[in-house]
Structure 1
Amino acid sequence: MTHQPTDTPQFYLTAPAPCPYLDDRFERKVFTHLVGDRAASLNDILTQGGFRRSQNIAYRPACEGCRACISVRSVVDAFVETRSMSRVMRKNRDIIGSNKAAAPSSEQYSLFRRYLDSRHAEGGMADMSVLDYAMMVGESYVATELVEYRFRGPDSAFTGRGEGPLIAAALTDVLADGLSMVYSFYDPDYADRGLGTYMIVDHLNRARKMGLPYVYLGYWVEDSPKMDYKRRFRPQEHLMARGWVRVD
C-alpha cells in the first residue's frame, strides 16, 4: 500500500453549482486545506497560482469549458492614481486605517451585516451568521490582519488610529510578494465616498511602504458588471495559461 505524506496537500473538486457571475452557467472549484506549519508558504504558492483563500480553504475555479475567471494582481510600484481615484482619496482624507490582529468583534459583524443587507442581499454570503463571520476572520493558519477604518481624531497623528465608530474594514493576507485582499466591507451610509476604491488604493500604498510588489484583487470576469471595477487599478497582471501577463 502506498502512503501519502501527511503534510502533502490533498486537492478536491466540488460538485457543479450555479455560477454567481454569469447567468446560465455552472461553476466547480478545486480546493485544498491550509493547516499546519506549512500553511503560510502553501498559501503563498497557491495565491501566485491563482487560488484564493476562505478561512482554512484555498480554492480556484475549475469549471468545465469555461475560463472566464481571471486572477488579477495590481503592480504596486507602477501604479498611478487616476483623477477619479485622487478625488476619492481627497474626499476620505479624514479617515485613517489601522492594522490589528485578525480577531472578530461584534462591531465588525454589525457593519458586515449592514453591508451585506444593503449591497449583496441576494449573494452567497447573505445568510452568514455571527459564528460564520467569526470563522471567516479568526480561523486562519496564515499571516492575516484586519485593517479597520475610522474617522481621524485629535490624537490620530500620534497613535496612528482613528476614533469613533467603524466605517470600513478589510481582511487581508500578508504574502511574501504582496497583500491579498480577502474581503472588504463598509458602512452603506457612506456609499458616496467610494470606500471600496479608497481601500484598494490604501492597500496599494501600504504594500509600497512594505516593499511588496503586488496587491492581489481576486478574480475578474470580463462579462460580469460587478467585477468590472477591478480593471481600473492598473497596471496589473492577469494569470493566463502561460503565466502572469502585464496589462497596462
Structure 2
Amino acid sequence: MRHSLPLAPQFYVTAPQPCPYLEGRMERKLFTALQGESAGRLNDSLSHQGFRRSQNVLYRPSCTDCASCLSARINVAAFKPSKSQKRTLRRNADISRRVTSPWATEAQYDLFRHYLDSRHADGGMADMDVFEFAAMIEETPVRSRVIEYTGIDNDLIGTCLTDVLSDGLSMVYSFYTPDMPRHSLGTYLILDHIAIAREAGLPYVYLGYWVPGSQKMGYKSNFSGLEIYVGGKWTKLKNPEDYSPDTHPLSSDPIAEQVANISLPDSRPAR
C-alpha cells in the first residue's frame, strides 16, 4: 500500500508482524526513504514528529489498534540525575569517549555480537552478519557519528551510532559489553549523550520509543526531563504509571490522515 503527498516523499506501510515489545500484539510501520540533498532537513523534520532513522529509511509505528509506542526525548535543561545515575557516573569515571565518522570496525562487530548473544539472542537483529552490520553503521545520508567508549585497558566496551539533528542528538542504536553489569553501561551511554548535548548547546537527546508495559523499553522513564510525542506534540512525561498500553480500535488515525498531517520541510536543496 502506498500513500503520498504532492511534491513530497512517498510514504509506505509495512505488513503486520509480531510486536517485539508487547506480547500478543501486531506491529505495523509507516516509513519513507531518506535520500538526496534534502535528507538532513527531512530527518530533522520527521524526527521532530516521532519518526526514527534506520539506515536510509525513516519510520514511525502505525499499528491498526495499538498506540503504545511513544517517541521519547530528554529535555537537557530539565534533566537532573537521580542518586543511582550519579553512582553510575562515578563508577564509569575511568571510561574514555572517542567520536569518529560512521565507519564499521571489526572490534565494533565483535562487541555487537557479544551484546546480541547475551541480551537479544531471539531479537530481530540476532542473525545480522558483518556486512549487514557495516550497512547499519555506514549507510547514512545524514550527519552521523559513531561514539565509542573504552575502558582503562583501552578495550572497546560501548558504541553508539548517533545522528546530529538541528536541535539535539538522536541515539540511533547503541550496544555495550554485558560483562560489566554493575556499571549500568546502557544508562551511562545516555547520561554521556546528555553531557555531549549540553556541551554543544543542543536542547534534546532523542531516545527512540518508550513503551508502557514493556520491560525492554521501560528504563527510559527513569530519566528526568523526559518528553513523549502524543497527539502531534511533545509533552512532559509525568507519572509513568498513568500510561498504559493503548489498544483501543480508534487509537490510530487512518494512514492517509496520518500522512496528510505530516509537516514536511522545504524540498529545495540548501545553498
Give the TM-score, by structure 1 length.
0.92
Deviations 1:192-236 (A, max 9, x none): 210000000000010001100000011011010111100011112
Distance 1:141 1:6, change over 3 A: farther
Q: What is the distance in 2 between the residues matched to 1:189 and 1:245?
A: 36
Alpha-carbon offset, residue 5 of structure 1: 10
Q: Cα distance, 1:247 vs. partner?
A: 2.3
8 A contact 2:210–2:218 mirrored in 1? yes
CA distance in 1, matches of 2:165, 2:21: 27
Q: What one-letter code is carried by the residue in structure 2 that aligns with 1:167?
A: I
Given residue 30 of structure 1, which amino acid in structure 2 is its aligned partner? L
Which residue is equivalent to 2:69?
69
Question: What are the within-5 Å matches in structure 2 for residues 12-91 of structure 1?
Answer: 12-91=12-91
Q: Shift of the alpha carbon at 1:77?
A: 1.1
Asked whether 1:196 is paired with 2:186, we answer yes
Unaligned runs of 5+ in 1: 153-162
Partner of 1:122: 122
Per the alignment, residue 135 of structure 2 pairs with 135
Structure 2 equivalent of residue 235 of structure 1: 225
Output one character per residue of 1:39-72: Cα deviation in whole Å (capped at 9) or x when no partner: 1110000100000000001000010011000011
* 4+ long deviations beyond 6 Å: 4-7
Give the letter for the 1:33 counterpart: A
Distance 2:154 2:105 in 1: 15
How high is the sequence identity, in percent, across the aligned residues? 51
User: Quick one: distance in 2 between partners of 1:112 and 1:6?
Assistant: 41
Q: Aligned equivalents of 1:186 and 1:5: distance in 2? A: 40
Report the counterpart of residue 105 of structure 2 in structure 1.
105
What amino acid maps onto 2:119 in structure 1?
A: R
Q: Is the 8 A contact 2:170 2:206 kept in 1?
A: yes
Partner of 1:187: 177
Mark the CA change 1:15 to 1:150 in structure 2 (over 3 Å): closer, same or farther.
same
Greater relative contact order (CA < 8 Å, ≥ 6 in sequence): 2
Task: Name 1:165's counterpart in structure 2.
Answer: 155
2:217 is paired with a residue whose SS is: helix
Q: Are 1:223 and 2:178 matched, yes or no?
A: no
1:206 matched to which residue of 2?
A: 196
Match of 2:9 in 1: 9
Q: Distance in 2 between the 1:5 and 1:170 partners? A: 34
* 1:5–1:246 CA distance, 2 compared to 1 (3 A): closer
Aligned letter for 1:178?
G
Measure the CA separation in 1 of the matches of 2:5 and 2:178. Answer: 48
CA drift of 1:191 comes to 2.3
The answer on 1:176 being equivalent to 2:203 is no
User: Aligned letter for 2:74?
Assistant: S
The answer as to whether partners of 2:49 and 2:232 remain within 8 angstroms in 1 is no
Unaligned runs of 5+ in 2: 239-271
* Partner Cα separation in structure 2 for residue 142 and residue 172 of structure 1: 10
Partner of 2:262: none
Superposed displacement of residue 164, structure 1:
2.0
Identify the residue that residue 250 of structure 2 maps to in structure 1. none
Structure 1 residues 5, 88: CA separation in 2 closer, same or farther (over 3 Å shift)? Answer: closer
Cα RMSD after superposing both structures: 1.5
Query: Normalized against structure 2, the TM-score is what?
Result: 0.84
1:106 and 1:136 map into 2 onto residues whose CA distance is 14
Report the Cα distance in structure 2 between the residues aligned to 1:22 and 1:246, rounded to whole angstroms: 23
Q: In structure 1, what is the equivalent of residue 258 of structure 2?
A: none
> Aligned residue for 1:158?
none
